[in-house]
Amino acid sequence: MSYWAEKILKILMVTALCWSLSIAAEPLKIEITKGQYSRHPIAIAPFVWEGMGKRPTVDVASVITYDLKRTGVFAPIPQSDFLSDPTFGGNVRFKVWRTLGADSLVLGRIIPDAKKGLVIEFDVFDVFKGNLLGDFQISIPDRSQLRNASHYISDIVYQKITGKRGAFNTQMSYIKAGYDKNGSKKKLYELIIADSDGEFPQTVFGSYEPLMSPAWSPRHRKIAYVSFEGGKAQIYIQSVETGERKLVRRFKGINGAPSWSPDGKALALVLSKDGNPEVYLLNIASDELLRLTFSSGIDTEPVWTPDGRFIVFTSDRGGSPQLYKVPVTGGKVKRLTYEGRYNSRAVFSPEGRYMAFVHRDQSRNYRIAIQDTHTEEMRLISDGPLDESPSFSPNGDMVLYAAKGVKHMVLKTVGRNGLAETQIVKDGDYRQPSWAPFEKRER
């Protein structure tokens, strides 16, 4: 069984097993004060191990704490601040947790079960009101699934408290450059899929020529990317499950920057076959091509608005790279960015409200910016100096991007509010991360 089939089966097992949902309680409101977001203080107690043998190596509470902290929405209280060892079940001393400043509390335990493998029970409390928001039980076949289960618990806690779907039990893709294990001096480029926290990386394609710009299809089953194999740029679509690769109709010059339409039937891409880079739409089934841009400058990095009606792209037709939009049927081009002399590589939050992109600030640092499409207000959410390739989490609450580390590029996440910047991979040369959409499997 392939890694993916195995993984999917395990996820299904986790989700299929029972937990009691009680979504009666209202989601808490996150306070916004003075234009700054205040983080929601939460206490996540160590999950009590009720087995006879050795404790599992994966610390469930630590994984949940790390997950929630990275969102910029939560401020987990360090376990070292806890006043007593919390126990599972029995009366919760809300007053003690209030003294600590916690607004919410998660208590849990892990019980080995001869039939079910491991059973994890956990409760989510509203400390402020002093009541139970929900009690849950999930089972997993064995310890190897504890990390996945922890992300799954994070998702439930996130949903219970914010009212929004959590995006912890998700995946991402990225390109990693490095040298292969044979010790050769040739650079190896790998297309990798990993969990959203960077764990469990799996190479899905490797090449000694550059790979670029991986883009998930909306149904999370295929990745389009650019490959320079043979010394020429070409776009491939690769199935994640079978590994099967299909070459997209290729043209002379640049074949780059693929972006899926929301219905998965078309790709926006960049071709320079007519002399300079222009944005085209390609119908995947019919191979029909529609040219969308007409300028002597560079037109590139197309992305669909989530409603499928427009393409937003980077163009230096005005003298410096800025973002523009054009209807997918072609027509009048409208400029979207005016602040600064460098705004490029847009991406939209899944519900379409926010646009993230690369912005060069006045000190010439390249930083991730977010523009609210309602108010047109722009905010910088990363520090630079060489940040690039923003990608929203499928719930739109976080942004994944690449940043310059000590020498090479690393991957980071930050809350959409600009809080909790976190590096999620160790040293290496990581490029163009792309957060996978929620699983939407067709039957």
Partner 1 sequence: MRNVTILILILGSFALNGCGGGTKPGPAPVEEVGSSEEENGYSDQGGMSDENEDSKAQGAVGKPKFDYESREIGSVGYSLDPEALDDAESPLSQRIIYFEFDNSQMPEKYNDIVLGHSAFLLQNSDYKITIEGHTDEKGSREYNIGLGERRANSVKQVMELSGVAPEQLEVVSYGEEKLADSEPNEVAQAQNRRAVIVYSKK
The site for partner 1 (CB under 8 A) is made up of 187, 210, 212-213, 228, 231-233, 253-254, 256-257, 270, 272, 276-277, 296-298, 300-301, 314, 316-321, 340-342, 344-345, 358, 360, 362-366, 385-386, 388-389, 404, 407-408, 429, 431-432
Report, in Å, the least distance between residue 305 CB and partner 1: 18
Residue type, 113: D
Eight-state DSSP code of residue 69: H
DSSP 256-276: EEEEE-TTSSEEEEEE-TTSS
Report, in Å, the least distance between residue 217 CB and partner 1: 19
Rg (CA), the chain: 23
Report, in Å, the least distance between residue 188 CB and partner 1: 13
Between residues 153 and 237, which has the closer beta carbon with respect to partner 1?
237
Between residues 110 and 269, which has the closer beta carbon with respect to partner 1?
269
Between residues 135 and 429, which has the closer beta carbon with respect to partner 1?
429
| 280, 272 Cβ separation under 8 angstroms | no
Residue type, 108: G
- Rounded Cα distance between 336 and 256, Å, is 22
Between residues 38 and 365, which has the closer beta carbon with respect to partner 1?
365
| 214, 432 Cβ separation under 8 angstroms | yes
| 108, 120 Cβ separation under 8 angstroms | yes
Between residues 129 and 232, which has the closer beta carbon with respect to partner 1?
232
Report, in Å, the least distance between residue 320 CB and partner 1: 6
Measured from the Cβ of residue 173, the count of other Cβ atoms closer than 10 Å reads 22
- Rounded Cα distance between 421 and 399, Å, is 9
Report, in Å, the least distance between residue 317 CB and partner 1: 7
Between residues 72 and 277, which has the closer beta carbon with respect to partner 1?
277
Long-range (24+ apart) CB contacts under 8 A made by 139-143 are: 139/14, 139/17, 139/18, 139/113, 140/10, 140/13, 140/14, 140/17, 141/10, 141/13, 141/117, 142/117, 142/118, 143/56, 143/57, 143/58, 143/118
Between residues 429 and 439, which has the closer beta carbon with respect to partner 1?
429
Report, in Å, the least distance between residue 191 CB and partner 1: 13
Report, in Å, the least distance between residue 177 CB and partner 1: 8
